[in-house]
Structure 1
Amino acid sequence: MMRIWLKSLTQSTLDARLRVGADLETRIIERPGCWMKEAELQALSKDLRRVAEATLPREALSYGVFAADRSRMSDSIITLVYRRKDRHPIAFNALAVMDVPLNGQIQQVVHLGLVLVNPEARSKGLSWVLYGLTCLVIFLRNQLRPFWISNVTQVPAVVGLVSEGFSGVYPAPDGPQSPVSTSCNWRAIMEEHRHVFGVGKDAGFDEPHFIITNAYTGGSDGLKKTYAEAAKHRDEKYNTFCEQSLDYDRGDDFLQLGQMDLATARKYLTGAVPANPCAICWSRARWSGFRV
Structure 2
Amino acid sequence: MYNLISVVLKKRLDLDFKTSSDFRARIVEFPGLWMAEREIAGLRAELRKVAGRAVPGGDLDYGVFSEREDVLQRTIVTLVYRVSDGTPVAFNALPVISLSLSGKPVEVLHLGLVMIDPAVRSQGLSWVLYGLTCFLLFLRNQLRPLWISNVTQVPAVAGMVAETFSDVFPSPTRGARRSLRQQLIATEIMAGHRHVFGVGKEAGFDADRFVITDAYTGGSDNLKKTFEAAPKHRKAEYNDFCAAELDYDRGDDLLQIGQLDLNAAQRYLLESVPRNALGRLAVASFVILVQRLVLPLMHWADGRRQWGILRPSR
> What is the CA-CA distance between 1:167 and the residue it aligns to?
0.3
State the distance in 2 between where 1:253 and 1:112 align: 14
> What is the CA-CA distance between 1:10 and the residue it aligns to?
9.8
> Which residue in 2 is equivalent to 1:289?
none
Secondary structure of 2:218's counterpart equals coil
8 Å CA contact 1:15, 1:27 repeated in 2: yes
- Assess, with a 3 A threshold, how the Cα gap between structure 1 residues 156 and 168 changes in structure 2: closer, same or farther: same
State the distance in 2 between where 1:198 and 1:170 align: 21
> Which residue in 1 is equivalent to 2:132?
133
Q: Deviations over 1:215-241 (max 9, x none)?
A: 000000010000000000010000000
State the distance in 2 between where 1:164 and 1:185 align: 20
Q: Which residues in structure 2 correspond to 1:119-158 (within 5 Å)?
A: 119-158=118-157
> What is the CA-CA distance between 1:57 and the residue it aligns to?
3.1
> What is the CA-CA distance between 1:182 and the residue it aligns to?
5.2
Q: Deviations over 1:132-179 (max 9, x none)?
A: 000000000101000100000000000100000000000000152224
State the distance in 2 between where 1:225 and 1:80 align: 24
CA RMSD of aligned residues (A): 2.3
State the distance in 2 between where 1:180 and 1:165 align: 21
> Which residue in 2 is equivalent to 1:276?
276
Secondary structure of 1:148's counterpart equals strand
- Assess, with a 3 A threshold, how the Cα gap between structure 1 residues 101 and 69 changes in structure 2: closer, same or farther: same
- The question of 1:211 aligning with 2:214 is answered no
* Amino acid paired to 2:57: R
> What is the CA-CA distance between 1:180 and the residue it aligns to?
6.4
- Assess, with a 3 A threshold, how the Cα gap between structure 1 residues 118 and 160 changes in structure 2: closer, same or farther: same
> What is the CA-CA distance between 1:77 and the residue it aligns to?
0.4
Secondary structure of 1:139's counterpart equals helix
Secondary structure of 1:94's counterpart equals strand
Larger CA deviation: 185-194 vs 221-230:
185-194
Larger CA deviation: 97-106 vs 41-50:
97-106
Larger CA deviation: 27-36 vs 267-276:
267-276
Q: Which residues in structure 2 correspond to 1:29-48 (within 5 Å)?
A: 29-48=28-47
8 Å CA contact 1:170, 1:180 repeated in 2: no
State the distance in 2 between where 1:32 and 1:271 align: 31
State the distance in 2 between where 1:84 and 1:251 align: 37
Secondary structure of 1:140's counterpart equals helix
- The question of 1:98 aligning with 2:92 is answered no
Percent identity of equivalent pairs: 52
**Structure having the larger proportion of residues in helix:** 2
> Which residue in 2 is equivalent to 1:264?
264
> Which residue in 2 is equivalent to 1:178?
178
- Assess, with a 3 A threshold, how the Cα gap between structure 1 residues 69 and 40 changes in structure 2: closer, same or farther: farther
**Structure having the larger proportion of residues in strand:** 1
Larger RCO (alpha carbons 8 Å, 6+ apart): 1
Q: Deviations over 1:82-120 (max 9, x none)?
A: 012322100001101001221111210000001110000
State the distance in 1 between where 2:242 and 2:60 align: 24
8 Å CA contact 1:76, 1:94 repeated in 2: yes
- Assess, with a 3 A threshold, how the Cα gap between structure 1 residues 125 and 191 changes in structure 2: closer, same or farther: same
State the distance in 2 between where 1:256 and 1:180 align: 14
- Assess, with a 3 A threshold, how the Cα gap between structure 1 residues 225 and 9 changes in structure 2: closer, same or farther: farther
> Which residue in 2 is equivalent to 1:228?
228
Q: Deviations over 1:187-208 (max 9, x none)?
A: 1101111010000111000110
Scaled by the length of structure 1, what TM-score is found?
0.91
Secondary structure of 1:12's counterpart equals coil
State the distance in 1 between where 2:120 and 2:54 align: 11
> What is the CA-CA distance between 1:63 and the residue it aligns to?
0.3
> Which residue in 2 is equivalent to 1:245?
245
State the distance in 2 between where 1:26 and 1:60 align: 25
8 Å CA contact 1:15, 1:28 repeated in 2: yes
8 Å CA contact 2:200, 2:215 repeated in 1: yes
* Amino acid paired to 1:147: L
State the distance in 2 between where 1:207 and 1:190 align: 10
